[in-house]
Homo-oligomer: A and B are copies of this chain.
Amino acid sequence: MKRNAKVSTAVIRRLPRYYRHLSELQEAGVVRISSSALGKSMGLTASQIRQDLFCFGGFGQQGYGYKVDSLKEEIGEILGISRGHTLVVLGTGNLGRAIIQNFRFSSNGFQLLAAFDINPGVVGTRIAGVPVYHADELESFIAAHRVDVGLLTVPIAAAQRMGDQLVQAGVKGIWNFTNYEISCARKDVVVESVHFSDSLLALSYMISQRELPDQQEENQ
């Protein structure tokens, strides 16, 4: 597959959305879709869609649109879904437990290997079939298994320390739910953070704008 070397962060951020939309279209039995129809369902223009996908070698056929299944497969390939990435969860509080029980790791190409905690009430148990080990065993576990990503849902006070432990143990990425901006000295380790508050504040901004009657025109 030919890909343009320079892909912007904005395009990368949209790729998972394409994948999600194409999965929904596939489930709904759609075989082929035009860039304008795909754009409409995603809130993008047809031209943005064509530009985005062109970054990755362009999959569309002039006048025919895109084949849903092969486009989904190719984007999944780019996203690394078939690479068999593995993951462990650090912290089995409410949020950790919610993610372990409900998140579809396998649909996203990830295998959840284990969870770690320090709470004696949960260490040694299983959550939705996933074994929970003591955090002290993290390093030896990662040494013995290939672990690509560590998901952090520990309390803020432990976030940086556990992040450092993950990096030292050799993970390639940290999926950070701690609402703390983890710093990572290693350039080859990716930190991807999910900040709920950033999302709520963006929503707060948008509804606040709509409440300003004199600015409605210019801010829409």
Query: A residues touching B (Cβ–Cβ < 8 Å)?
Result: 5-7, 10, 12-13, 15-17, 19-21, 24, 78-81, 83, 85, 93-95, 97-99, 101-104, 107-110, 148-149, 172-173, 175, 181, 188, 190, 192, 194-208, 210-211, 215, 218-219
A94 nearest CB neighbor, chain B only = B98
- The answer to whether residues A204 and B85 also contact, given A13-B198, A93-B98 and a CB cut-off of 8 A, is yes
In the bound complex, residues from chain B placing their C-beta under 8 Å from that of A194 are: 194, 196, 199
In the bound complex, residues from chain B placing their C-beta under 8 Å from that of A6 are: 218
Can you list 14 A-B pairs with a CB-CB distance of less than 8 A? A5-B219, A12-B202, A16-B199, A16-B201, A16-B205, A17-B198, A20-B181, A20-B195, A79-B201, A85-B204, A110-B200, A172-B211, A175-B200, A190-B206
Copies of the protein in its oligomer: 2
Contact residues of A: prevailing secondary structure: helix
A79–B5 CB distance below 8 A: no
- The answer to whether residues A81 and B204 also contact, given A93-B102, A94-B101 and a CB cut-off of 8 A, is yes
Cα distance, A12 to B210, chains bound together (Å): 14
A172–B207 CB distance below 8 A: yes
A16–B207 CB distance below 8 A: no
